[in-house]
């Protein structure tokens, strides 16, 4: 059996990102891109969180996240504030401007969900998403148990 799951997931990610960018533009959302929207989405659910937690919830490496947060801060979407209990820890907080964009983003996200699942039954969606969760859990377990000294296998896809 030739397994193509990783390749397919990579292709889905690339194509869906392009479609999502077009949908954001069509909706008149030019304050942020799709990748930044993922960060904002997490913050709209749970604002005022440390960078480490934001990294875990978005799946973005801290180095990638830091440069994206720099751009988002420059665009008046987020601000960095020192934790009142631990000045060494910086928390990420939404600006009022970013809070006003949540509803428009949710509308575009709902449109994207409709594109993803056109022709799927509710049972198929549940099965598919549960299967993806299993793959994600497998990957996270591998990442967590091999933190030191493992070589990355190149399976023909990134991510």
Q: pLDDT at position 110, please?
A: 95
For the chain, list residues with pLDDT below 70: 147-159
102 within 8 A of 63, measured Cβ to Cβ: no
Q: pLDDT at position 151, please?
A: 47
Q: pLDDT at position 33, please?
A: 84
Give the separation between CA 18 and CA 15, rounded to whole angstroms.
Answer: 5
- Beta pairing class for 78-82 and 90-94: antiparallel
Give the separation between CA 81 and CA 9, rounded to whole angstroms.
Answer: 36
Give the separation between CA 36 and CA 98, rounded to whole angstroms.
Answer: 11
């Amino acid at each position: 059996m030739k397994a193509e799951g990783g390749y397919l997931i990579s292709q889905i990610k690339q194509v869906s990102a392009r479609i999502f960018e077009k949908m954001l533009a069509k909706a008149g959302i030019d304050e942020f891109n799709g990748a930044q929207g993922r960060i904002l989405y997490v913050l709209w659910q749970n604002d005022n969180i440390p960078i480490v937690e934001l990294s875990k919830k978005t799946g973005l490496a801290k180095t990638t996240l830091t440069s994206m947060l720099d751009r988002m801060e420059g665009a008046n979407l987020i601000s960095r504030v020192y934790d009142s209990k631990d000045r060494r820890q910086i928390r990420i907080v939404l600006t009022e401007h970013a809070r006003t964009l949540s509803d428009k983003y949710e509308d575009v996200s709902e449109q994207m969900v409709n594109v993803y699942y056109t022709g799927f039954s509710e049972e198929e969606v549940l099965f598919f998403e549960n299967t993806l969760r299993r793959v994600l859990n497998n990957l996270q377990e591998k990442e967590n148990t091999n933190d030191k000294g493992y070589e990355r296998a190149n399976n023909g896809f990134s991510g």
